[in-house]
Amino acid sequence: MPYHLPPADTLYPVTLLDGTPHKGTVNLKNAIDHPRFEVGDHTYASDFDPPQDWANRLAPFLFPFCKEMLRIGKFGQIAHGTRFIGASANHATRGASTFPFAVFNKETILGYQPDTRDITVGHDVWFGYGAIVLAGARIGNGVIVGAGAVVRGTVPDYAIVTGNPAQIHRMRFSEGEIELMNALAWWDWPTDAISDAHEIIEKGSPADLQAFARAHGL
């Protein structure tokens, strides 16, 4: 039976056996409306207690007036409990105290943000249960973030990171295979091609995916 990836504009991409949509999983792009939160097609988030405001649930300190951005690429997979703790949550640390005096004055609250670093996440990144991503994190394509990991800094493409602070457990592919995967960029293929290739994307090697791409002129 042919496989068809749900359209990118679908809000609830998982349909239960009785035909009803599973409201605990959303295509995140269609579930948020936030000027500081950008997300690519087919990136989904799941939660056992689905919120009304998915942006606030995932990034509770990211307000519309914040100076940083949260950017997540295509085909991301975000498990329950994942949180993005961005720059707006941070206090100044260079003075005698970290107390945020400006927050308690209506004349200065909007101008107070000592940290403005963005969080940037590549394509096809899997965040395990309860992962935490901190301000300034730059997470590459194909990364797996283990359950409960606390991520800061730069994570290279196709790394598996675990622990607090998150450290590279191992790389998923060789250096040459990673270059090939980034060159193939399957997440940018037409939806029909991705649907046709889904078993190779799930189970095949980078070489298998390259062979499919060549055979289909991708």
**CATH number, residue 58:** 2.160.10.10
As for how many domains the chain has, the answer is 2
- Asked if residue 214 has pLDDT above 90, the reply is yes
Q: Is 91 a catalytic residue?
A: yes
- Identify whether residues 167 and 178 lie together within a single domain: no
- Identify whether residues 132 and 217 lie together within a single domain: no
- Identify whether residues 150 and 101 lie together within a single domain: yes
pTM: 0.95
Under a CB-based contact definition with an 8 Å cutoff, are residues 158 and 143 in contact? yes
Domain range enclosing 199: 174-218
- Asked if residue 113 has pLDDT above 90, the reply is yes
* pLDDT value for 2: 85
- For the residues 69-76, what does the mean pLDDT come to? 98
- Asked if residue 131 has pLDDT above 90, the reply is yes
- Asked if residue 1 has pLDDT above 80, the reply is no
- Identify whether residues 37 and 137 lie together within a single domain: yes
Task: Tell me how far apart the alpha carbons of residues 36 and 98 are, in angstroms, rounded to a whole number.
Answer: 25
Which single residue is written with the structure tokens 């970290």? Answer: 98
The pLDDT confidence band at residue 110, using thresholds 50, 70 and 90, is confident
DSSP three-state, residue 60: coil
Selecting among 22, 91, 169, 216, the annotated active-site residue is 91
* pLDDT value for 175: 98
Task: Tell me how far apart the alpha carbons of residues 114 and 97 are, in angstroms, rounded to a whole number.
Answer: 13
Under a CB-based contact definition with an 8 Å cutoff, are residues 143 and 133 in contact? no
- Identify whether residues 95 and 144 lie together within a single domain: yes
